[in-house]
Amino acid sequence: MLDVKRLRVLREVHLRGSFSAAAESLSYTQSAVSQQIAALEREAGTLLVERSARGVRLTEAGRALVSHTDAIIARLAAAERDLEAIAGLRGGTLRVVAFPSAGASLLPIAVARFRDRHPGVELTLQPLEPADALAALKAGDADVAVAVDASFQPIEDDDLELRHLLDDPMFVALPRDHPLAGRTRLRLEDLAGESWILGTGARQCPDTAITLRHCLAAGFEPRVAFQSDDYLAIQGFIAAGVGVALIPDLGLVSTRDDIVVRELRCAPHRRVVAATMGGATRGPAAGAMLDILEEVGREWAGERAALQLVS
């Protein structure tokens, strides 16, 4: 029988690339990590880690074992959550991860509502970019992940169950003294000659892909003046006249006085979703949070739509 604690140690060695880094991550001594790996190799009956002067790397058997470890740990976590459910959500834990702009807008409402309904459940919230949030969920380090995708780049993973929370429309942000600032609604074609501020284009968030796709559909390739993934920083660059940008509604909860935000005709949007592991791995606390997130998503979308009609 393989020891789950030792499987965790093997996974850390794989992720960190050395016994010393794994020891630091686990708050173990390096000697303890080495002993745990040696014991796991005896249990497995084969060599799992190759040691050399340049470091360590997993053997084919070690890599195969690690590939099953995340699922094993997730299943054990689900078993613990099921036991907690016996108490009718009067105890236990719930770990939520969410991308930062959702963490500053939707999640405060959802967390307050969850704690009011289930005060005995210990709830934690960690901000993570969408790709990292989903990775944490699959690794068993989170129970619910709030992420975003684009309709043309949907999250596709058979291990996950997704609930659509809302569509997050994107708006164009301009310097207050921009010639087009007086208009209430713009077309992307109106901004073909502008300098643009885009995200870094990393895998983390679909904003950049959405902007590029819609600009190209409007007949131009945006001239990139600067790149940033921080919405407040982007607003600062816009105010300084560096360029214009598309910013999603959730990123505009706090807006500077020296920029203007205008609607776009046929505005692009990103989809906000809540993800859990599929099947029996989802605990009752996660299910309760999903229901609350759906409530908050509907309310948020309705309130923002009403606000736009008034303005």
Q: Greater confidence, 20 or 78?
A: 20
Q: What is the pTM of this model?
A: 0.71
Identify the three-state secondary structure at position 93.
strand
Same-domain pairing of 172 and 252:
yes
The CATH number covering residue 118 comes to 3.40.190.10
What does the pLDDT read at residue 203? 52
Structure confidence at residue 84 as a pLDDT band (50, 70, 90): low
Q: What are the distances in angstroms from CA 233 to CA 135, 206, 276?
A: 26, 18, 31
Residue 15: both structure tokens together? 């992720």
Residue 201 has pLDDT above 70, yes or no: no
Share of the chain above pLDDT 70, in %: 93
Residue 292 within a domain:
yes
Residue 85 within a domain:
no
Phi, psi of 160 (to 5 degrees): -105, 150
Residue 75: both structure tokens together? 């299943």
Q: Greater confidence, 276 or 72?
A: 276
Residue 183 has pLDDT above 80, yes or no: yes
Residue 1 has pLDDT above 80, yes or no: no
Distance, first Cα to last Cα, the chain: 65
Same-domain pairing of 139 and 264:
no
Q: What are the distances in angstroms from CA 34 to CA 10, 40, 70, 187?
A: 10, 10, 21, 62
Same-domain pairing of 212 and 244:
yes
Residue where a domain stops, chosen among 79, 113, 138: 79
| Neighbouring residues of 141: CB distance < 8 A, sequence distance ≥ 6 | 95
**Mean per-residue pLDDT for 154-163?**
90
> Do the Cβ atoms of 233 and 183 come closer than 8 Å?
no
CA–CA dist 234, 283 (Å, integer): 39
Same-domain pairing of 37 and 18:
yes
**Mean per-residue pLDDT for 236-261?**
95
Residue where a domain stops, chosen among 36, 51, 79: 79
CA–CA dist 200, 212 (Å, integer): 12
**Mean per-residue pLDDT for 276-294?**
87
What does the pLDDT read at residue 309? 46
Q: Greater confidence, 91 or 201?
A: 91
Same-domain pairing of 67 and 146:
no
Q: 120, 126, 238, 227: which is closest to 171 by C-alpha?
A: 238
What does the pLDDT read at residue 310? 42
The Cβ-side half-sphere exposure at 68, using a 13 Å CA radius, reads 8
Residue 84 within a domain:
no
Structure confidence at residue 77 as a pLDDT band (50, 70, 90): confident
Residue 190: both structure tokens together? 């109106």
Structure confidence at residue 176 as a pLDDT band (50, 70, 90): very high
Structural domain count, the chain? 3
DSSP symbol at 139: T
CA–CA dist 128, 228 (Å, integer): 16
What does the pLDDT read at residue 153? 87
- Write down the residue that tokens 């599929």 correspond to: 278
Q: Please, what is the average pLDDT of the chain?
A: 89
| Neighbouring residues of 182: CB distance < 8 A, sequence distance ≥ 6 | none
Same-domain pairing of 174 and 185:
yes
Residue 71 within a domain:
yes
Phi, psi of 124 (to 5 degrees): -125, 150
Residue 241 within a domain:
yes
Rounded to the nearest 5 percent, the helix, strand and coil shares of the chain are 45, 25, 30
Residue where a domain stops, chosen among 58, 79, 100: 79
CA–CA dist 20, 61 (Å, integer): 22
Same-domain pairing of 95 and 238:
no
Same-domain pairing of 191 and 252:
yes
